[in-house]
Structure 1
Amino acid sequence: MEEDYIEEKAILVGVNLRNDRHFDYSIEELSNLAEAMDVEVVGVVTQNLERVTPSHYVGTGKTEEIRQMYEEKGANVVIFDDELSPAQIRNLEQDLDCKVIDRTTLILDIFARRAKTNEARMQVEIAQLKYLMPRLVGMNASLSRQGGGTGGGFQNKGSGETKLELDRRKIEKQIAKIHKELEEVKAQRETQRKKRQKNALPVVSLVGYTNAGKSTIMNQLLERTNPDEEKQVLEKDMLFATLDTSVRQIELEDNKKFLLTDTVGFVSKLPHHLVKAFRSTLEEAREADLLLHVVDVSNEEHEYMIDITNKTLEDVGVVDVPTIYVYNKADRANIQYPFVSKNKIYLSAKQDVGLDELLEMIRKAIFADYEVQTLCIPYDRGDLVSYLNERANILSTEYVEEGTLLKVELHVSDVNRMKAFKK
């Protein structure tokens, strides 16, 4: 797929429906998406409409304007800022005589390029196949022409339809096959999740718009608590730099541990097939004890980004999970930082300022169910002292005649277990 995009020059086309106040940002985001696929944007054509034109998405005069700009700028692809119908793509390609793609295709291509794990690749492939299915109908005519041109002239009239049915069946089979494989991966993920729950490790999940700084925050928290190069995740100033869910264990100084998971970033007009495909990955967020909703506060559209992220999370069933809003990149927004207000924190992960405050907020949110107890462990129960050293926060140790006297911060699940030794 990468070869298709070498030295591609694009004209972007967008329709501003009923004066949408987020329209300019949507076009800017489309430009960033194109850039993420190494496509050079050489021109932009926009139109204000009450509703899109069913046949061509844009009006007839606009189609001619696109064609002129396309030829003047030496472009070789036209990218539309919405999902086009099969008929619209066919009509536009006919009239413009060039390659036409829509925002959905562009996002699917980016996801296909970025997917590293088998699971992410399979999820992207399902989304691509589901997108392709209805578009086979739009390709019906060209398939008939191909069939007719194989040597039999018009005698071979029905072969296009036959080919269409074969293609459709092939895609359905492929989707079913990948679904089956994904179910197995999902079962493994479920087993891992149950194992983590058994170990009583709280889960904190990073969510947010793409390029908000989730990976930077994950790396900074790892750096603070467990510096290990191998555990760092990819950071890049690019849309959808990381797609695969990363899970890392964060160990605090007082022996408390939690799992930090990173999820795929969101974007406006995220193809619904893709949201559905990544549902299992986003289940990490659904099962989390706490969400860190990372926001690029330096972007003027950050409130809009929050809405899109919350709406997408709702669509995959992530509701009622306690959330800390992490307003990142505060250094670029001329906002005082670090600054904490209830469940919000303003910080700069890149400048490494505000991360200690964030850790403290996480600690308070997920370790509320701890109690301070004084225990006296007999000397012949060294196993319990070892267990507490590993699992609890020992505040003080004293050796008395009856045994080891410990003042310890215990998780509620261990309080009953240590009942007999309570002082």
Structure 2
Amino acid sequence: MIKSKLITIFLTVLLTVNSNAAIDIKARTAILQDYLSGEILFEKDADKSIYPASMTKIMTAMVAFDLIKSGDLKLNDKFTISEKAWRLSRPANSSMFIMVNDEITVENLLMGIIIVSGNDACVALAEGIAGSEEAFASLMTSKALEIGMTSTNFTNSSGLNDPNNVSTVRDILIMSNYLIRNYPEYYSYFKKSEFTWDRTGSDPITQPNTNSLINKNKFVDGIKTGYLAVEKYSLASSLERNGRRLIAVGSGFKTKGSRSYESNKLLNYGLSQFATIEIAKQNQIFTDLEVWQGKKAIVNAYINQDIYKTLLKSESLNRQKYLKVTVNYKGPLKAPIKKDDVIGKLTIVYKNELVSEHDLFAYEEVKRLNVFSRLIKSINFLIWGDV
């Protein structure tokens, strides 16, 4: 017999103002995502081709992070600085100000890339890892395709002028989401307010993070700025507040100031207009289901992934009207049941439309009763309807 069980979802959210006003973001192209649910909350020409400028450096760092995780690269490994890298060490460029033939650790180069957007540090890291910047750019593009960035091509490690170094804000969002999700131990670099480089043969130089939004909004913890004359200003940004994370990417801001202001406005729009509901946590007990002829009368069930749903705040106040979460299973389930057996299905419906379905797995083993106990159970069922 197919059984259904309507699950009541409790919402605990600490957010701010609720307004129904539309938002106008002064950028050529922009996008906003709720990190937990993955839902897009705002977009403006999100698939329009852009020059990603220094947002390219997110991928430069990610290629290094992959190698560090695999053990093929260490933070304390040192690379010798080439003349090509050194020639980018000048005030006209974003620079870490490295010296030719100097030996610099991978960690310092990463700090120079992430915090001060050093083009010189990008080339030094790329050459140290792949032998040449061109070979490193191929690694970057391969990684982009691997994670679903279908409209991106990288031709260098820094994002400096090249008509073939292209992307979209949607792809930069995919990259930013992947960065935060897969490299939490290194993502903390992106919120450091400054970096001091103890230069060889000269006084230490301290430079601020190019992302000034981290000082203007205490909840912002990344990610990366960009600027090219042809593209104007761009920014991939993220904040975490009350357990909720938002990621915004915009390009074509007219000024450095508007880049921070408009990005902050977009992030705050996501906080004020939407609420994110936790439906299930990965590998945690979600519900229990009836068992027939088992040594236990119920079996606990879990889902193997986190599941969240983002609603307009006005809808979240009456969420049971809009959001229905149902467990369906052929029950009672017949013992024996092995741990991790698929024992049911979770169905999520939003505004009477199916959003998704997810398998429910047995959290534990349930052994079958012995022959005598099963006989008594069957007799009870025939007489009383008791299972």
- Which structure carries more strand by proportion? 2
**TM-score in terms of structure 2 length:** 0.27
**TM-score in terms of structure 1 length:** 0.25
